[in-house]
Amino acid sequence: MGHDKLRKFAENETFSCLLQPSAQEVLARGYFNLQDHAIKGHWNERMFARPAPIVLELGCGKGEYTLDLARRHPERNYIGVDIKGARLWRGAKTATEEGLPNVAFLRTRIEFITAYFAPGEIDEIWLTFSDPQLGSENLRLTSPLFLNRYRSFMRPGGIVHLKTDSRFLHEYTRAVVEANGLVMPACTADLYGDGGISREERPELFEVQTFYEKMFLAQGYKITYLSFCIDHEGDFVYPTDFDAAYWRSVEGPRKFVQVP
């Protein structure tokens, strides 16, 4: 491990806005019977010291979206979740330097997410440029498996936002939404084109851009967006009419390059 990573990991221990629980503790009773963390149901009182709606960004990377949304909406509390400590260092350091009282970060695997949040504790979820997991449906963050997890801690009427460069993930998510009869307030396959979404009403969709969004926009990929309500009776079902082979074939190659 490089010295820079070691430095970041050491500094992570000093950030009060960053929670880094032990995976061993969560898994003490096994993968299918996760041990609840003490913060579950107590985020507002223990991390933010005030009551406010809580918004999650899952797979937040360096936390660009979490930070910018928190600046724009001080009346809400924001939590960025990722497993990569070196990435979370950037978000936690910025939140600390700016003294943002409504930002926190959680280092954990997203499949353990139910161990950290209680029923009704979360108002919204943002999924920004998640891995489309082309070959593994249950690893997609909008699969029925994950939606069942989210529903366990989201308030009634809670909204999930998906912003992605992957047409595959966009169309798969839309198929899941339609298969389960979920309310979908917004959906566009070309956000920056004639997507039908007002910049004035939803400026954060256009003005907040992650590292990956800037990189893929520079390569000519269209950015898609959809939102849906998590409310659903019974288990979420898998779509039967999603043409995975076709959408996989049009996905296109990505180049990972630094964008100014």
Residue 65: name the closest of 49, 87, 85 by CA.
87
As a 3-state breakdown, the chain gives helix, strand, coil percent values, each rounded to 5, of: 35, 15, 45
Tokens of residue 177, six digits: 């939404």
3-state secondary structure of 155: strand
Residue 236 CA from chain centroid, whole number: 19
For the question of residue 243 being annotated catalytic, the response is no
Catalytic: which of 131, 190, 235, 243? 131
3-state secondary structure of 145: helix
Identify the bridge partners of residue 56 per DSSP, sorted by sequence position.
79, 125
The C-alpha angle with vertex 61 and arms to 23 and 70, in degrees rounded to 5, equals 105
| Residues assigned a catalytic role | 131
